Structure 1
Amino acid sequence: MEKQLLTTGEFAKLCGTQKGTLLFYDKEGLLKPKHVSENGYRYYDIDQYFEFDLLSMLKEVGSSLKEIKTHLRHMDGEGFMSFLEEKQVVAKRELNRLRQRALMLGDMAECLREALNFDYDVLVVEQQEEERLEVTPTGVTPSESRWEFILRFAEYNDVYKQQEQKPRFPFGFILGLDDVRRGSHLERYSFHRARRTTPRSRLHVKPEGKCATLAHKGTDETHRQALVGMLEKIDSAGMAIKSDIYVYDMMSYVIKETGDSYAVKYCALVE
């Protein structure tokens, strides 16, 4: 005769789970053994495997204990269909978050790899590809404090959190060339990689062409000196600057050596 009743251990092995899990399900009223002997031994009917399988599926799609109890006790085709459709929406949203997380991790690794291997304070002139950026006016003023800067940056990130999107590398700012030549280093625009949904009014295309690049690690004062020195080197080489200054973040909060030191990469189109 085929065996119909299984001990807790046998049923756990059949289901690929632990005895403790079955005891928890019993306690919560989710899956009770078919028979309990006078001496307290629990026995499961072999057909309860399908109940366990449904329970596992409900857990896998992110159901709460309350939801699982409701569906196991009051199984209804139409209601269960609505439940599955809701979970499908949630799963797609979670899949999108995971996809964005994977992209973000890849971007961060690429940025940090460059930051760790860059030859700092060396002017490099090379051909670069076109870059599509989403730009946002910063609204920065000469009197802005560090606190105001952080608040503004947090508000900027909140916009994307509400849209369930994560801005992607590269991140940075645009300095007006004329401003820099006058000794001002106000960040007129912030930028990150353009999205498919980037409004046309905020899309900025940094064209393909020859670019002069210099990376520097240091304080605000040494950065100002490094940028001025970069412009002087470009001028002395007989090149003309044909764009504003793009300032790329290099994850300086990871590689910084002191509290007031940071690293960025300055880039300008030249000919």
Structure 2
Amino acid sequence: MEKRLLTTGEFAKLCGIPKGTLLFYDKEGLLKPKHVSENGYRRYAIEQYFEFDLLSMLKEVGSSLKEIKTHLRQMDGEAFLSFLEEKQAAAQRELNRLKQRTLVLGDMAECLREALNFDYDALIVEQQEEERLEVMPTGATPSESQWELVMRFAEYNDAYKKQEQKPRSPFGFILALDDVRRGNHLERYSFHRARRTTPRSRLHVKPAGTYATLAHNGTEETHRQALAGMPGEIVSAGMTIKSDIYVYDMMSYVIKETGDCYALKYCVLVE
């Protein structure tokens, strides 16, 4: 004879779950046994496996106990379709967040790998590919305090959080060459990797070409000294400077030696 009623243990084994999970589902009114004898023995009908399968699917897509109860107790095709479409949209949003998180982690790893292996304080001439950057005027002033600097960057990040986005590296800023020659290291623009949605007014294309690059890990004062000497080194090497200075953060908060030190990479187009 075909067996149609199963013990709790048998049904749990069929479903691939612990017996305790079935007892929890029973207590919560999610999946009650088909028959309970006078002495309390529970028996599940073989066809209840399909109820369990639907319950598992609802859990898998992130449904709450309340949502599962609602749909299992009174199934309505139209309401269930709307529910599935909402869950699909939520899953897509989560997928987009995970995709963005993966890209950000990859950017950070690439940046840190370069920072850990760079030949600091040596002028390097190298070919660099074109970079599409999203730039924003910093509004920085010569008298800006550390507090104002941090608040400015916090506001910058907050603007992206409101868009449910995270700016991607490279991160940095642009120094006007004339400013540097006058000893003024004012950050005119900040930048990060351009997005598909970057407005044209904020899009800056750093051209491909030959760049003189100098990385330094030190204090604010030693950075000023390193940057002040960079144009002279370039000219002494027989090259002409053709652009403002792109300054890249090199994961300073990871590789810094002391609280006063930070690592930056300076790049300028030359010929």
**Which position in structure 2 is the counterpart of 1:214?**
214
> What is the distance in 2 between the residues matched to 1:225 and 1:9?
76
TM norm structure 2: 0.97
- Once the two structures are TM-superposed, the CA of residue 64 in structure 1 deviates from its matched residue by 1.1
- Once the two structures are TM-superposed, the CA of residue 229 in structure 1 deviates from its matched residue by 1.9
Amino acid at match of 1:255: I
In the alignment, structure 1 residue 86 sits paired with structure 2 residue 55: no
> What is the distance in 1 between the residues matched to 2:171 and 2:233?
25
Q: How far does the alpha carbon of each residue in 1:222-266 deviate from its partner, in whole angstroms, 9 at most, with x for none?
A: 111111122221121121111111111111111111111111111
TM norm structure 1: 0.97
**Which position in structure 2 is the counterpart of 1:100?**
100
- Once the two structures are TM-superposed, the CA of residue 20 in structure 1 deviates from its matched residue by 2.1
SS in 2 for 1:132: strand
Q: How far does the alpha carbon of each residue in 1:137-162 deviate from its partner, in whole angstroms, 9 at most, with x for none?
A: 11111222212211111111112112
> What is the distance in 1 between the residues matched to 2:142 and 2:40?
78
**Which position in structure 1 is the counterpart of 2:62?**
62
- For residues 120-135 of structure 1, what are the structure 2 equivalents within 5 Å? 120-135=120-135
> What is the distance in 2 between the residues matched to 1:99 and 1:179?
40
**Which position in structure 2 is the counterpart of 1:110?**
110
**Which position in structure 1 is the counterpart of 2:257?**
257
In the alignment, structure 1 residue 52 sits paired with structure 2 residue 52: yes
> What is the distance in 1 between the residues matched to 2:17 and 2:233?
69
- Once the two structures are TM-superposed, the CA of residue 79 in structure 1 deviates from its matched residue by 0.5
- Once the two structures are TM-superposed, the CA of residue 48 in structure 1 deviates from its matched residue by 1.0
Amino acid at match of 2:6: L
**Which position in structure 2 is the counterpart of 1:15?**
15
**Which position in structure 2 is the counterpart of 1:119?**
119
SS in 2 for 1:265: strand
- Once the two structures are TM-superposed, the CA of residue 112 in structure 1 deviates from its matched residue by 0.7
> What is the distance in 2 between the residues matched to 1:262 and 1:7?
67
Could you tell me which runs of 5 or more consecutive residues in structure 1 were left unpaired when the two chains were aligned: none
Structure 1, 4-13 or 65-74: larger mean CA deviation: 4-13
Structure 1, 207-216 or 30-39: larger mean CA deviation: 30-39
> What is the distance in 2 between the residues matched to 1:80 and 1:57?
13
* Structure 1 stretches of 4+ moved >4 Å: none
**Which position in structure 2 is the counterpart of 1:243?**
243
Indicate the percent of aligned positions where both proteins have the same amino acid.
85
Q: How far does the alpha carbon of each residue in 1:134-189 deviate from its partner, in whole angstroms, 9 at most, with x for none?
A: 00111111222212211111111112112122211111111111111111111111
> What is the distance in 1 between the residues matched to 2:231 and 2:190?
21
Structure 1, 130-139 or 227-236: larger mean CA deviation: 227-236
- Once the two structures are TM-superposed, the CA of residue 42 in structure 1 deviates from its matched residue by 2.2
- Once the two structures are TM-superposed, the CA of residue 29 in structure 1 deviates from its matched residue by 1.1
- Once the two structures are TM-superposed, the CA of residue 37 in structure 1 deviates from its matched residue by 2.7
**Which position in structure 2 is the counterpart of 1:2?**
2
> What is the distance in 2 between the residues matched to 1:144 and 1:17?
62
Structure 1, 21-30 or 130-139: larger mean CA deviation: 21-30
SS in 2 for 1:25: helix
> What is the distance in 1 between the residues matched to 2:254 and 2:8?
52
**Which position in structure 2 is the counterpart of 1:234?**
234
Structure 1, 56-65 or 18-27: larger mean CA deviation: 18-27
Q: How far does the alpha carbon of each residue in 1:81-118 deviate from its partner, in whole angstroms, 9 at most, with x for none?
A: 11111111111111110110111111111111111111
Amino acid at match of 2:195: R
**Which position in structure 1 is the counterpart of 2:161?**
161
Could you tell me which runs of 5 or more consecutive residues in structure 2 were left unpaired when the two chains were aligned: none
